Structure 1
């Protein structure tokens, strides 16, 4: 009883002196902060927001140096009523605060290195998923850490707020989904791009059930920061054999480590060296006596009909190893192969193939749309940021993207179904971009600015990271970045990407069925094809049976029917009837077989053959194919001999026959010509015609055999292939 009384007295004391204690701590806080911080600290939480959303809004207000009430007032007056509906108000308000705060924070050149920034950005995604009290999870876990431990001594952290103002940090057990990531991550252009944001999320969550953990997100941003710093340091390095033009950025270098060389194959020669990719060209410097020779430049920007593709290489020109990238253009005499040796797989080759194609396709996109200087720089900056992200994922998680899961925007647009629509939409958005597009009247609302103009967000991002050139050094001065995403709305580029991704799912599902039915072996594939063409083969056999006149009555009836069809001109109706019949059969199957799986075709496998028998079968097939090519060449050479009168009597006969055929084509209606050809072919096996037909065919073959073939002279290629240094 005494304990209860003491507890009650203690509670009454705390309630009575709560304001005094709070004011005491607030005075201590104000004494160490400026007047603006005290203005930010003054308002309490917004009742409609969840705890995590209030935490994010409070930290955003501290970054922007305005109160949460002022932020809410700006949101209410600057954005249209369509994004302030009751059901979406809190989520759109979180987006509004997050986008403005990220825009402010990204002006710090080293923001990726700050763990508090990474924590805040992840909190923004959590707040987007649970923006209001109704969406907040019931089981609230304790915070993973107390924010005061990470604050500076003066309490001036931009990313964490005082615990008295509802600072809630990330719980290690909490995860985010793809929609939250797709809405928040592209607000920081170095982190994600609208085109590849879904593929980036898939790459980060490939082993976590499609939910993103903070540790994975933090590891990705730390790796991205490392990649950016390495590329930035490469700008200041003095490489004796590499002379870069203004605006060129070194994206990656390979071959500098002796254990991982890059071999350049030109003709029969191969030489180790160092391969460098910039946003304009490839450079290869051969390794000489302890140093690198002057690098050879392979242009990717100019229209030189460049071709970059995977290729096989090996010693002395042998095609053995699938570990090379082939570069060919009108500026080189012969293709150049860059080999990336490794013991397992070909991930190095695939990575370099992807990033080289990304730069090449970015320049093709520029030339196709005739962009101006600022638009060209924006396109290249998007490609550069994409390669940085790809490098970060590869180095952090040791994964390479597949065809439809690539992290490079222009490569993805080339491989996705309707990817051309994505590029067209991007081109139309870049058309809103100009040098003045980054400057706006500060009295205009954010929504109006996003509707009218776009900022060169990729250029500004590179400049903020330390990659600005002299021409663009002053471009981002005093600029409020207006990017691809708009609060509460889905722009046309996002819509085009979503449509293309939905089509990709169907393509991948269809491709999976194709991979399942692929079989090995010539005999097995022939058996499958024979079964698939069974009905067509049966129809052909019936027609052949009629043409053989083994059953005169059936053959006569078939001949009379087909002759009537040809004379009446009913062939077009027959073809139309066949098309309608097939359409009716397909609709019938769709109606009555809805939801039923397609029954598999039963194939009787041929007898198994060992490896030697399979090689013999393959050799026989190749020999038959070679014989067909030889016969085709002989026919072409004999026709050439007839055209140039190598045998004058035969040429005279052929010329006279061609004149008669021309007269027939002019004066005889086509249906009668078709009828005559058909009757001649169909009645060839009649008893009273068979002997004369065989004799005529024999004479025609004998005449053909007497025609000589035109001569052919084979010349060996004796050009000397010099090694390019």
Structure 2
């Protein structure tokens, strides 16, 4: 009796004019429900005390659709849900999800549900209630005609209706929908989006003589007064297809970034499809994204050997993604929308760990197949409707499975009450990694400098420690300080002879690791010191051109010297200069005997001692003499001849 009295007081307060100003600042979509509940005798028994008023309204609407009382829904939840899901701190939100998901699974089976204004309002109000589900959250709630919802509520409720969103792209879709509303989704925008989705009832997308289906791309080349027969470019088979943006222009020039090229092992050369636009390449980007979406979904199917109903399910996800892009383009005031961000398979191709998301999705497909064989139904579980059933309701047909009504309504484990599915965990981890990549890219963009001279100055400062170590080693090799060089040679010889070289490198690597860890703790919370570089004198345009020309000349000289070395070795191998070849052959034979007879440790020791003692006081004179003889021998070797042949006109025209 006490509970009924408390409920009656709450309902009377809700409908009394002016007594609930903290909740209703003006007429809201919930007013009619509150008034009806206040007049209804059954409202006292169906009121859930753990829920907020708005959540109670949503649960009441769900109970009407499910044809079951709110109290019976609560009893079912208490029986079916685990103890962790029913924990008091999570009870209200999890029970609300239980009611919402069961209701949406049933409502989305009705053909044309997106056209129903009550359904669109219900899904939005579910998000509103999700943000404040518990009775204790009432003071934080402000429901009026301008109510809005956040990304968490949208990402939790919207994927339960596959045509609206899915787990992978929900956050990106939310960002697109709220680009002009300050990061909060308003019902007016949400309603326009769903209305646009409802108006799209086809998938064969065409633009003039270009048609995209769920398996292939058809293109009719333009002739003078007509079109050639349509050519089919397969996207479903594994033909090593590559679809990418392409530059085109008149008379073979590459000036305009407004084309798409398609390449596969079935074609001798790539096919280029141009999308003429007055400015920009928005139209091309849209077609590129949706063509790649179909290509990527078939790669996913082929990679994980997905067949039957689950294959149709994967294709359905790609189809729904393209429909969402079209709906966004209809309602968006922006000039362009980044289609890749709201196309599921495109996004997985770009996100760090996107392959793990697809692998998780494939594993869930196997589990869904087991659930299907066990005859689970959407109305009896705590999961959402499948994408395949959704596109079937929209009138699309995929393979043979669409003819079987029992297979059309499949449960999917992408969302579960009170739990984060394996797919949601994979997506969350991938997004966290993506944020790190974006932050790293921002730092990279921030340190880029212009000008060859400035970049060389930065590089010189970065490699300064390496150059200093190199100078120190050269100083030891040239015996500038005989005592230091002697100690270095003795210590190194001892390490090599004892076979401790591997341990030495291990100690060096450990030193670097310990250094980084100590630096990490010492600099924690402190801003990183920037690299100080002395900027070179600014150069005018002519000086920069001369610097570039000088760099190109130096590069050309290096390439020429490299070619000379290779041609001389070719002359040695072909015995163009017999005397030099004989000496070279003897050197190779001696080297081969040393490699065959001596252990690797002693070979390394010989190389080290030869390199670091050649300029010692005992060997310096003989080294200079032998180096002079070696240079004379090398300069006496002629280069092998080179014959340049120009491509004839026939080959060039062909």
Task: State the TM bucket, normalised to the shorter chain.
Answer: 0.7 to 0.9
Distance 1:551 1:581, change over 3 A: same
**Contact 1:125–1:180 (8 Å) recurs in 2:** yes
Residue equivalent to 1:242: none
- 2:476 is the alignment partner of 1:474: no
Residue equivalent to 1:612: 542
- 2:156 is the alignment partner of 1:183: yes
SS at match of 2:341: coil
Task: Report the Cα distance in structure 1 between the residues aligned to 2:524 and 2:399, rounded to whole angstroms.
Answer: 64
The residue correspondences of 1:566-577 to structure 2 (distance < 5 A) are 566-577=496-507
Task: Report the Cα distance in structure 1 between the residues aligned to 2:374 and 2:409, rounded to whole angstroms.
Answer: 8
The residue correspondences of 1:682-721 to structure 2 (distance < 5 A) are 682-686=612-616, 689-690=619-620, 692-705=622-635, 706-709=637-640, 711-712=642-643, 714=645, 716=647, 718-719=650-651
Residue equivalent to 1:100: 102
The residue correspondences of 1:223-622 to structure 2 (distance < 5 A) are 223-226=196-199, 228-229=200-201, 232=202, 249-250=203-204, 252-254=205-207, 256=208, 274-289=209-224, 291-397=226-332, 398=334, 406-434=341-369, 437=372, 440=375, 445-447=380-382, 457-469=386-398, 471-477=400-406, 480-483=409-412, 484-622=414-552
Task: Report the Cα distance in structure 1 between the residues aligned to 2:480 and 2:415, rounded to whole angstroms.
Answer: 76
- 2:202 is the alignment partner of 1:200: no
Task: Report the Cα distance in structure 2 between the residues aligned to 1:422 and 1:394, rounded to whole angstroms.
Answer: 27
**Contact 2:51–2:133 (8 Å) recurs in 1:** yes
Gaps (5+ residues) in structure 1?
Answer: 1-14, 16-37, 142-170, 233-248, 257-273
SS at match of 1:326: strand
Q: Deviations over 1:484-523 (max 9, x none)?
A: 2122222111111112112222222222111111112111
Match of 1:219 among 176, 186, 192: 192
Distance 1:137 1:296, change over 3 A: farther
Distance 1:702 1:320, change over 3 A: farther
Q: Deviations over 1:71-126 (max 9, x none)?
A: 33443444444433333333223222222322233233322233332212101111
Report the TM-score, using the length of structure 1 for normalisation. 0.77
Task: Report the Cα distance in structure 2 between the residues aligned to 1:193 and 1:175, rounded to whole angstroms.
Answer: 20
Shift of 1:648: 4.3
Task: Report the Cα distance in structure 2 between the residues aligned to 1:465 and 1:620, rounded to whole angstroms.
Answer: 66
- 2:127 is the alignment partner of 1:125: yes
- 2:146 is the alignment partner of 1:173: yes
Task: Report the Cα distance in structure 2 between the residues aligned to 1:702 and 1:478, rounded to whole angstroms.
Answer: 84
Task: Report the Cα distance in structure 2 between the residues aligned to 1:443 and 1:124, rounded to whole angstroms.
Answer: 19
Residue equivalent to 1:115: 117
Shift of 1:301: 1.2
Name the Cα RMSD after superposition.
3.2
SS at match of 1:487: coil
**Contact 1:220–1:392 (8 Å) recurs in 2:** yes
Task: Report the Cα distance in structure 2 between the residues aligned to 1:708 and 1:126, rounded to whole angstroms.
Answer: 81
Task: Report the Cα distance in structure 1 between the residues aligned to 2:444 and 2:136, rounded to whole angstroms.
Answer: 46
**Contact 1:178–1:198 (8 Å) recurs in 2:** yes
Shift of 1:623: 3.0
Q: Deviations over 1:650-689 (max 9, x none)?
A: 4443333222111101222333333333333334445675
SS at match of 1:406: helix
Task: Report the Cα distance in structure 2 between the residues aligned to 1:60 and 1:622, rounded to whole angstroms.
Answer: 73
Task: Report the Cα distance in structure 2 between the residues aligned to 1:620 and 1:354, rounded to whole angstroms.
Answer: 43
Task: Report the Cα distance in structure 2 between the residues aligned to 1:200 and 1:441, rounded to whole angstroms.
Answer: 30
SS at match of 1:100: helix
Shift of 1:139: 6.5
Distance 1:79 1:567, change over 3 A: closer
Distance 1:323 1:703, change over 3 A: farther
SS at match of 1:305: coil
- 2:596 is the alignment partner of 1:675: no
SS at match of 1:312: strand
Shift of 1:464: 0.4
Residue equivalent to 1:23: none
Task: Report the Cα distance in structure 2 between the residues aligned to 1:369 and 1:140, rounded to whole angstroms.
Answer: 48
Task: Report the Cα distance in structure 2 between the residues aligned to 1:139 and 1:93, rounded to whole angstroms.
Answer: 19
Report the TM-score, using the length of structure 2 for normalisation. 0.85
Shift of 1:691: 5.3
Task: Report the Cα distance in structure 1 between the residues aligned to 2:76 and 2:607, rounded to whole angstroms.
Answer: 84
Task: Report the Cα distance in structure 2 between the residues aligned to 1:184 and 1:537, rounded to whole angstroms.
Answer: 59
Q: Deviations over 1:338-375 (max 9, x none)?
A: 33344544333333332222222211111111122322
**Contact 2:246–2:259 (8 Å) recurs in 1:** yes
SS at match of 2:51: coil
Shift of 1:278: 2.0
Distance 1:445 1:596, change over 3 A: same
SS at match of 1:603: coil
SS at match of 1:607: coil
Distance 1:721 1:176, change over 3 A: farther
**Contact 1:219–1:396 (8 Å) recurs in 2:** yes
Moved more, 430-439 or 196-205: 430-439
Task: Report the Cα distance in structure 2 between the residues aligned to 1:88 and 1:489, rounded to whole angstroms.
Answer: 11
Shift of 1:472: 3.2
SS at match of 1:286: coil
Residue equivalent to 2:92: 90
Moved more, 558-567 or 101-110: 558-567
SS at match of 1:297: strand
Q: Deviations over 1:189-226 (max 9, x none)?
A: 00011111122222222343332221221222223233
**Contact 1:439–1:479 (8 Å) recurs in 2:** no
**Contact 1:109–1:466 (8 Å) recurs in 2:** no
